[in-house]
Amino acid sequence: MTAHLTVFEREAPSASAIDESLRSTKSSVFWLEDAPHASYPQLTASHTADLTVVGGGYTGLWTAVLAKRRDPSARVVLLEAQTIGWAASGRNGGFAEASLTHGDENGRARWPDEFDTLERMGLENLDAIERDVAELKMDVQFERTGTLSVAYEPHQVQWLKGAEAGVYLDRDAVRKTIDSPIFAAGRREEHLSALVHPGRLAAELARVATDLGVEIFEQSSVTGLRTRGSGVSVETARGVVKSAKVALGTNVFRPLLRRSRLSTVPVYDYVLMSEPLSAAQMDDIGWRGREGLTDMANQFHYSRLSADNRILYGGYDAIYHAGRRVRPEYEDRQSSYRTLASHFLTTFPQLEGLSFSHQWGGAIDTSTQFCAFHGLARRGRVAYAAGFTGLGVAATRFAAEVMLDRLAGDPTPRTQLEMVRKKPLPFPPEPLAKIGIEATKWSLDRADHREGQRNVLLRTLDRLGLGFDS
């Protein structure tokens, strides 16, 4: 089959239009700038607790909040290496999706027998978030908007026609929803996802946790776990917390348990945020339903409006650095920002002249099954969950419930799930991880240029239930 150019290559904007849009962009995370941040002290003395939570992202924060809800008298301490929500939880797209399995296709293929249960539990989880946001008066700009998936190329139109959830929209109908000359079709789904302000969600979860009596410590990196007698000592440079149970929400960072070392790889994903659109610019694009917008390419984009009508535009590039490294210098990548600006102007040529105010990147917590894995170690005293593969905004709350179920020791419908009980295959060690990920990325890009046709490598990975995604 001959390779075709993608629409982003066929309809690329001029280099000067890209330069102009990025002329005054600063490298900073809009969501973190736009969220209130309370400071929490460093751990400088020894403490005792019933539960110690490691990690101040959504996984750790939901675990602390839900632990106090289950038992208000429990002493809960949360230790964060830097500041609350600084990592993926404060810099994501804010798509809170019901899916616990990184989409229906992946869920159905891996867990066909329990997929209906997983789907129901995922929806209940998203509904629970909506309820918590209202009941706990969390100012997180929650909007149950649903999503619009769009196709640019004929083969993607066929994929959309064959999908089940939501309503199929032809070219005219999709352009009435959000107006882009490159949208050939769409599928609108109204109930299975919401949008949140990611930075505020982290800050508000920390506020709620504190109100419930959780003690939060920032700048308190955990260096080791020591199991002693009936408890676990969680060690930091300046203090130790001794507790009966520990929950780990450390995501792509160096795992504290040896068994998790090969379970995730950090894959960097990049984002642009525009200036607020004027009323006239909003009229030019429509988007009155404020849906989360995504597309059908293997190397997909995601896009959404903020409360003040900025457009966030991210995705496409997925950059892995050998050795599973997470480093501040990887959060900035000019060539990815230029690619995103170019694709944005191809999508919305009517917005030429709009500037991007912010640019940033973050590490996606990729696992070989494309969704979180859950585990229990140290004779039932340490629970962990990680590997959300870019879909953790809502799934982290479910993972928190699983960790608390498991630490409590009694089986629940959640802990009985095969998805929860079984571990995904690990990524290989270096240099195989880097070679394998680069070959997969190359193959995915080729598929986008060849009407979606998957090559031998992708078909083999599909058969083995292995893969790489962001």
Ligand X SMILES: Cc1cc2nc3c(=O)[nH]c(=O)nc-3n(C[C@H](O)[C@H](O)[C@H](O)COP(=O)(O)OP(=O)(O)OC[C@H]3O[C@@H](n4cnc5c(N)ncnc54)[C@H](O)[C@@H]3O)c2cc1C
List residues binding ligand X (CB under 6 A).
54-60, 79-82, 86-89, 91-95, 97, 221-222, 249-251, 253, 256, 269, 271, 314, 362-365, 388, 390-393, 396
Q: Minimum distance between the CB of residue 27 and ligand X, rounded to whole angstroms? A: 14
- Cis before residue 431, ω within 30 degrees of 0? yes
Q: Minimum distance between the CB of residue 393 and ligand X, rounded to whole angstroms? A: 3
Q: By C-beta, is 264 or 347 nearer to ligand X?
A: 264
Q: By C-beta, is 79 or 246 nearer to ligand X?
A: 79
Q: By C-beta, is 175 or 200 nearer to ligand X?
A: 200
Q: By C-beta, is 157 or 202 nearer to ligand X?
A: 202
Q: Minimum distance between the CB of residue 98 and ligand X, rounded to whole angstroms? A: 10
Listed in sequence order, the residues at least 6 apart from 22 whose beta carbon sits closer than 8 Å to its beta carbon are 337, 338, 341, 355, 356, 359
Q: Minimum distance between the CB of residue 433 and ligand X, rounded to whole angstroms? A: 19
Query: What does the block give as tokens for 183?
Result: 């949208």
Q: By C-beta, is 153 or 218 nearer to ligand X?
A: 218
Q: What is the DSSP string of 195-206?
A: E--HHHHHHHHH
Q: By C-beta, is 21 or 52 nearer to ligand X?
A: 52
Q: Minimum distance between the CB of residue 319 and ligand X, rounded to whole angstroms? A: 11
In angstroms, the CA 202 to CA 89 distance is 7
Q: Please say whether the beta carbons of 299 and 8 come within 8 A.
A: no
Q: By C-beta, is 32 or 417 nearer to ligand X?
A: 32
**Based on the number of CB atoms within 10 Å of its own CB, is 457 exposed (0-12), middle (13-18) or buried (19 or more)?**
middle
Q: Minimum distance between the CB of residue 65 and ligand X, rounded to whole angstroms? A: 13
Q: By C-beta, is 55 or 424 nearer to ligand X?
A: 55
Query: What does the block give as tokens for 316?
Result: 């496409």
Q: What is the DSSP string of 71-111?
A: -TT--EEEE-SSSTT-SHHHHS--EEES-SSSSHHHHHHH-
In the chain, the amino acid numbered 345 is: L
Q: By C-beta, is 175 or 270 nearer to ligand X?
A: 270
Q: Minimum distance between the CB of residue 249 and ligand X, rounded to whole angstroms? A: 5
Give per-residue burial for 423-442: e unless 16+ CB within 10 Å, then b: ebebbeeeeebbebbeebbe
In angstroms, the CA 261 to CA 426 distance is 9
Q: Minimum distance between the CB of residue 55 and ligand X, rounded to whole angstroms? A: 3
In angstroms, the CA 274 to CA 30 distance is 10
Residue (of 411, 413, 320, 418) closest to 364 by Cα position? 320
Q: Minimum distance between the CB of residue 292 and ligand X, rounded to whole angstroms? A: 8
Q: What is the DSSP string of 229-256?
A: TTEEEEEESS-EEEEEEEEE--TTSPPS
